[in-house]
Structure 1
Amino acid sequence: MTLQTVILAAGMGSRLGRSLPKPLTALSDGRSIMQQQHDNIRAAFGSDARVTTVVGYRAETIVEAFPDASYVYNDRYDQTNTSKSLLRALSATGKAGVLWMNGDVVFDPRILGRAIELIEREQSFVTVNTAKVSDEEVKYTTDAHGFISGLSKTVSSGIGEAVGINYISRADKKAFMHQLTRVDDQDYFERGLELAIAENGMRLEPLDISDLYAVEVDFAEDLERANLYV
């Protein structure tokens, strides 16, 4: 299937303490974090899947490593958060639904295989892990119908964590983009999803991948954990 995918890779990733953009961090199997993302996308959706990457900090290093991808440049990468990077990418992908991921997630390739059914029926979703709920991570709650109602780092009584791999359907895209224009520069894209749920009635499904691995690499210990899987 042909699919629009977006990788958010504009940030400086300073917490990992490396000079290169975090997505270019080498894993123990010799690939970079971003290379395993490209490999997983191709394995699930084929070689014609379109990958658009949002770059900012040391953008040229990512472009050199992945010359065949499409790129969107966030020239305010040091002043904005993922909400504004994602808005730029969604604006560049037409009317189609979009699968997007944070550029620092090392994940089991089976996650995207599990997502295909939801993508094919154009159901917006957030991939979640219900096995742990850490205070510093983006957490979620659900409504009486099982759809996501709250999604943030400060949500109360979260029942799981967002993994950083998500899909917005063609039908929901316009409303989501409108909400991304409204949020603060320092907001994460999850704030736009929350507003679209509250104000536009968007139904966002949690895709549970608790039995598979997904590690968002922020610190050296996260990288060590990710290397146990690859």
Structure 2
Amino acid sequence: MSIQIVILAAGMGSRLGRSLPKSLTVLGDGRSIMRQQHDNIRAAFGNAARITTVVGYRAETIIEAFPHVDYVHNDRYDQTNTSKSLLRALQVSGRGGVLWMNGDVVFDPRILGRALPLIEREQSFVTVNTAKVSDEEVKYTVTPDGHIKDLSKTVRGGIGEAVGINYISAADKRAFMRQLHRVGDQDYFERGLELAIAEDGLLLEPLDISDLYAVEVDFAEDLERANLYV
């Protein structure tokens, strides 16, 4: 199927302590984090998937490693957060919905297969893990009908964590982009989703992948944990 994918890989990833962009970190199976993302995308959606990567820090190293995808540059990568990187990519996307992921997520390829029915019916979603709720991660709560209500690192009483793979439908994209434009430079894209929920009536479904693995690699211990799966 033809689908638009965005990978957010503009940041410096300084917490991991590597000179290369974090997405080029090599995993235990010899692939980089971004290579396993590309492999998972192609396995789920085939060659028709259009991948756009947002780059900033040492952009040339990512472009050299993956020359056959589209690129958007966030020249203010050292002054902005994921809200502005994602906004740049959405502004050049086509009319359809967009699946996006953080460039540091090591994940089970079956996650994209599980997401496919929601994508096919144009349902915006956030993938979540209900098995743990860590203070450092983006947490969420739900409304009585089961849609996402709150989504941030500061959520109290969170029932799970967002894992960095998300979809915005064609119908919801304009409102989401307007909110991403409005939020602060240092805000994460989740702030744009929260505002779209509160002010635009965005219905965002939590896609539970707790039985599968998904690891955002921020620190050395995250990398060790990711290597247990690949």
Q: Deviations over 1:12-38 (max 9, x none)?
A: 000000000000000010000000000
Task: Output aligned runs, 1:130-141, within 5 Å.
Answer: 130-141=130-141
Aligned residues: 230
Q: Give the superposition deviation at 1:95.
A: 1.8
Runs of 4 or more, structure 1, over 3 Å off, are: none
Aligned residue number for residue 29 of structure 1: 29
Aligned to 1:42: 42
Structure 1 spans left out of the alignment, 5+ residues? none
Structure 2 unaligned runs (5+)? none
CA distance in 2, matches of 1:28, 1:94: 36
Q: Which amino acid aligns with 2:178?
A: H
Counterpart AA for 1:156:
R
Matches within 5 A, 1:59-98: 59-98=59-98
| CA distance in structure 2 between the partners assigned to 1:96 and 1:9 by the alignment | 22
What is the TM-score of this pair, normalised by structure 1? 1.00
Counterpart in the other structure of 1:19? 19
The answer for the alignment partner of 1:105 in structure 2 is 105
- Give the secondary-structure state (helix, strand or coil) at the position aligned to 1:62: helix
Please name the residue that 1:10 is paired with: 10
Identity %: 83
1:162 partnered with 2:155? no
One-letter identity of the residue aligned with 1:92 = V
Rounded Cα–Cα distance in structure 1 between residues aligned with 2:173 and 2:94: 10
1:189-211 deviations in Å (ceiling 9; x for gaps): 00000000000000000000000
Give, in whole Å, the separation in 1 of the partners of 2:84 and 2:74. Answer: 8
2: CA distance between counterparts of 1:207 and 1:105? 16
Q: Normalization by structure 2: what TM-score?
A: 1.00
Tell me the SS of whatever aligns to 1:196: helix
- 2:128 is equivalent to residue 128 of structure 1: yes
Aligned residue for 2:204? 204
Q: 1:79-117 CA deviation, whole Å, 9 max, x = no partner?
A: 000000000000011221000000000000000000000
Q: Distance in 1 between matches of 2:67 and 2:4?
A: 17
Residue type of the alignment partner of 1:7: I
Q: Distance in 1 between matches of 2:101 and 2:121?
A: 20
